[in-house]
Amino acid sequence: MVKRPRPEIPPPPWDRVPRRALADRRDPLNRKAIVAAAIRILDDGGLDGFTMRRVADALGTGPASLYWHVGSKDGLLDLIFEEVIGEQQVPDADPGRWQEQLKDVARTMRATILHHRDIVRISIGRVPMGPNALRYSDRVLAILRAGGASDRLAVLGRHLLISIVNGFTMDETGMDGQPPPEPIATMARDYLASLPPSEFPNLVALADHFAISDQDLRFEVLLDLFVDGLAFRIALECGSFPDQLHDA
Amino acid sequence: MVKRPRPEIPPPPWDRVPRRALADRRDPLNRKAIVAAAIRILDDGGLDGFTMRRVADALGTGPASLYWHVGSKDGLLDLIFEEVIGEQQVPDADPGRWQEQLKDVARTMRATILHHRDIVRISIGRVPMGPNALRYSDRVLAILRAGGASDRLAVLGRHLLISIVNGFTMDETGMDGQPPPEPIATMARDYLASLPPSEFPNLVALADHFAISDQDLRFEVLLDLFVDGLAFRIALECGSFPDQLHDA
DNA sequence: ACCTGAACACCGTTCAAGT
DNA sequence: ACCTGAACACCGTTCAAGT
């Protein structure tokens, strides 16, 4: 391992945050402190409670002071997203364990999303291009290629994996903070069971199953579906058959 | 077919919209007119441009007038979501074609989402329980059961199908209106290709594939993965083998 | 039963002015 | 180079008062 200076990464083609020579004063205000405070505000107030004014308050300034550092509220949200991506670490690709590694990437992503309130909502329409996002994508691609995916399938697989995790977490996330899932699940169940069976035969018949919502298990089923399907397509691509479907 | 009065559906356990005896005056203001105007505003202003004041304007009143009918902005968004769900029609379940039918449900959902700007963002955290949403869910469940899914797998399958379509459309939707995908894709490609290969070997190597973003095709791959995987699990459940994987 | 004007308590952002 | 106060143009929502 030769230690050499990390090459400077030029700014991505779009960038809402002003590139400023940072004066490295550690006193009250700099980009890092702002992002840290913002994430704290976000985590316990949600996106609706997330306000430039509140962030400024937490830092002991007025809202106007933030704008020199982060450009706009949207710019700050970009930075938050980048930071949160950086919290996740992706394992070094191991060809023999690529399926489990891919699932772990997804599990970590889900855990991070559940940990940072409303981060899925924030991610919508944001195409992160910061160093953390790049590093993350690169390492996920490494795993897919280690699994034997073609270039095209690797890029596609990365995209779809992120998509399905976002989709899954979207609706386990939104419903408020974490007020007990138990009562609302039974409430929904009872309501469905009370509907006219002539009009909603399936909802009435399956009402009980709507009360059971072990999200961890549901998520694992999704991952199984996805990774198995991916393994199958990889096998198709190179003309052989997959040797270990459903090994878990 | 006996024609009988449709049974009255009681309100769901949570309901942000006030149940009022509607006076059926067709003049200026009623719930339906408000929702219609709101959807129009939403479609061409996006969620950021969506304002109670703007909706009121379109109807020739002040914002305060809306509150009697829809309770709150969130209540109005609930109604919008319900309405949009109602725009989609789900085919009558046909056991022999359940796989293609399920894909069609997903395709219709995606088309609807692409047609109504920011509707995915609106759907987050909303558990629709209106008549349209109920009818929709019931019919999707019918298809899954026609395919042989167990009760548990039917409920799970419906949930996951909706999840993955939401996830997929999340990021093809956000990036602004529809400013040409071409230039930004090549911009991203060029940027990725210019990165230091020592740090991002995979991004650099696969940069070209990031420019190719045939979303229709990507979506079809996702549907194949999902429906194949589901068929496989259904077969597992009843101890036999699936007879038609990858028939498309 | 329905609608309204006016007000309240908030927003994001700008900008001239300070240091 | 960095920070600030004050202001601008907006918000969602309420509420007394009207018809």
Q: Does pLDDT of A67 surpass 90?
A: yes
Q: Which pLDDT score, from 0 to 100, does residue A26 have?
A: 37
For residue A197, give the chain B residue with the closest CA.
Answer: B7
Q: Under 8 Å CB-to-CB from A137, ≥6 apart: which residues?
A: A158, B202, B203
**Phi and psi, residue A144, nearest 5°:** -65, -40
Residues of A170-187 as b/e, b for ≥16 C-beta within 10 angstroms? bbbbbeeeeeeeeebeee
The answer to which of A148-152, B77-81, B180-184 has the lowest mean pLDDT is B180-184
* B186 token code pair: 């090549």
Tokens 């629709």, residue? Answer: B128
pLDDT range class, residue B23, cuts 50, 70, 90? very low
pLDDT attached to residue B100: 98
Q: Map tokens 């509907």 to a residue.
A: A195
Q: Interior CA angle at A102 toward A151 and A213, to 5°?
A: 130
The pLDDT tens digits for A86-144 are 999 999 999 999 999 999 999 999 999 999 999 999 999 999 999 999 999 999 999 99
Q: Which two tokens stand for residue A33?
A: 């402190």
The nt closest to A62 (CA vs C1′) is D4
Compare CB distances from A206 to B135, B141, B225 and report the shortest one's residue: B141
Which tokens go with B120? 């995915």
Give the residue from chain A lying closest to B224, CA to CA: A229
For residue B42, give Cα distances in angstroms to A104, B48, B57, B108, B123. Answer: 38, 9, 14, 20, 13
> What's the whole-number mean pLDDT along residues A2-6?
45
Please give the full DSSP string across B100-138, using - where no structure is assigned. HHHHHHHHHHHHHHHHSTTHHHHHTT----SHHHHHHHH
Tell me how far apart the terminal alpha carbons of chain A are, to the nearest angstrom: 36
Cβ-based burial of B27 (10 A; exposed 0-12, middle 13-18, buried ≥19): exposed
Answer yes or no: are the C-beta atoms of A231 and B165 closer than 8 Å: no
The whole-number average pLDDT for the span A83-88 is 98
Q: What pLDDT score does B241 carry? A: 52
Q: Is the pLDDT of residue A3 over 60?
A: no
Decide: CB of B50 under 7 A of nucleic strand D.
yes
Residue B201, judged by CB atoms within 10 A of its CB (0-12, 13-18, 19+), counts as middle
> Which bin fits B213, alpha (ψ -120 to 50), beta or left (φ > 0)?
beta
Separation of B39 CA and C11 C1' (Å): 24
Cα distance from B245 to chain A (closest Cα, Å)?
Answer: 11
Our measurement of the distance from residue A132's CA atom to the centroid of its chain's CA atoms, rounded to an integer in Å, reads: 13
For residue A176, the model assigns a pLDDT of 56
Alpha-carbon span B241 to B156, nearest angstrom: 21
Q: What is the mean pLDDT of chain A?
A: 88
pLDDT 10s digits, B112-151: 999 999 999 999 999 999 999 999 999 999 999 999 999 9
Q: Give the closest of B127, B164, B206 to A141, CB-based.
A: B206
Residues near A12 by Cβ (< 8 Å), separated by ≥ 6? A129, A130, B191
Region A163-185: mean pLDDT is: 79
- For residues A214 and A115, what is the distance between their CA atoms, to the nearest angstrom? 18
Cβ neighbour number for residue A23 with a 10 Å cutoff: 6
Q: Find the CB nearest A154 among B174, B200, B206.
A: B206
CA distance A164 to B229: 14
Predicted local confidence at residue A133, as pLDDT: 98
Segment B207-229 mean pLDDT: 93
Average of per-residue pLDDT across A33-51: 97
C-alpha to C-alpha distance for A188 and A207, rounded to whole angstroms: 8
Both tokens assigned to A101:
């590694």
Quickly give A22 CA vs D12 C1' distance in Å: 38
Report which DSSP code applies to A43.
H
Q: What DSSP letter does each residue of B34-95 carry, written as one string? A: HHHHHHHHHHHHTTTT--HHHHHHHHTS-THHHHHHHSSHHHHHHHHHHHHHHT---PPP-G
Q: What are phi and psi of A139, to 5 degrees?
A: -75, -35
Tokens of A194: 């009370």
B146 is written with which tokens? 């026609």
Q: Which residues contact B70 (CB under 8 A, 6 or more apart)?
A: B17, B18, B31, B34, B35, B76, B79
Q: What is the pLDDT of residue A103?
A: 98
CB-strand contact A51/D, under 7 Å: no
The predicted-structure confidence for B29-73, as pLDDT tens digits, reads as follows: 999 999 999 999 999 999 999 999 999 999 999 999 999 999 999
DSSP state letter for B97? G
Q: Regarding predicted confidence, which is higher, A45 or A185?
A: A45
Cα distances (Å, whole numbers) of residue A154 to A140, A199, B210: 9, 45, 11
Enumerate residues 6+ apart whose C-beta is below 8 A from B101: B91, B93, B94, B143
pLDDT band at B181 (very low <50, low <70, confident <90, very high): low
> What is chain A's percent helix, strand, coil content, to nearest 5?
65, 0, 35
Q: How many CB atoms neighbour CB A244 within 10 A? A: 9
**pLDDT confidence of residue A28:** 73
**Gap between the Cα atoms of B40 and B55, Å rounded:** 9
What is the CA A65 to C1' C18 distance in angstroms?
Answer: 13
Q: What is the pLDDT of residues A218-245, one digit of tens each?
A: 999 999 999 999 999 999 887 655 455 4
Nucleotides on chain D within 7 angstroms of protein Cβ = 1-6, 10-15
In this complex, the nucleotide whose C1' atom is nearest to the CA atom of residue A50 is C11
* For residues B5-22, average pLDDT: 64
Predicted confidence band of residue A246 (pLDDT cuts 50, 70, 90): very low
Per-residue pLDDT band at B20 (split at 50, 70, 90): low
